[in-house]
Structure 1
């Protein structure tokens, strides 16, 4: 893949990762479980990208976190806040609208 295409692909994915992560936090997830869930769906995310994203989402009050220390290895779990649920719903509507519009543009460019 050329450097330009790789750069454009990275830019395109950046916005979709937020939506993908939020969509998986309806139930509490810790970092590694979230990476696995996303990879199962075909979305690759590096931990070096995920954790800063989770911290940003927490700062924006879209997710909350809590530590589970009941296991031998403490884990920090993340879950959508009430505000995060509302924002996810709006983002999902916006995503569906945008993908429909882009789909129409792409079909038009094939003619």
Structure 2
């Protein structure tokens, strides 16, 4: 695969990963549980991508974190803040609208390809 295509695919994936992560943080999750939830939905994310993303979302005040120390291994849990929930719902709406429009465009493109 060309370097350009790789770069474009990474760029396309970056925004979708943010939305995917936000979608799973309506209930508190720790890193590994989040990776598992996403993988169950067919979205693979490396921990080396996830943790910097979670730190960025926390810095942007979209998520909050807290340590759970009652178990043998302390875990840092992340959850949407009230602001984060508002932003997520707006992004979700935007994503759905954009997806419908893009799908219609691309589907139309397939029809043209078949008639050529």
- What secondary structure, in the 3-state scheme, does the structure 2 residue paired with 1:76 have? strand
Compute the TM-score of the two structures, normalised by the length of structure 2: 0.91
Q: How big is each residue's C-alpha offset from its partner over 1:20-51, in whole Å with a ceiling of 9 and x where there is no partner?
A: 00000000000000001001100011101100
In structure 2, what is the equivalent of residue 101 of structure 1?
Answer: 101
Deviation at 1:10, TM superposition (A): 1.4
**What are the residue-to-residue correspondences of 1:54-93 with 2, within 5 Å?**
54-93=54-93
User: Which blocks of at least 5 consecutive residues in structure 2 are unaligned?
Assistant: 112-116
User: Which blocks of at least 5 consecutive residues in structure 1 are unaligned?
Assistant: none
Q: How big is each residue's C-alpha offset from its partner over 1:49-89, in whole Å with a ceiling of 9 and x where there is no partner?
A: 10010001001110000000001100000000000110010
Compute the TM-score of the two structures, normalised by the length of structure 1: 0.95
Alignment RMSD (CA, Å): 1.0
Larger Rg: 2
Deviation at 1:9, TM superposition (A): 1.6
In structure 2, what is the equivalent of residue 40 of structure 1?
Answer: 40
Give 4+ residue runs of structure 1 displaced > 4 Å after superposition.
Answer: none
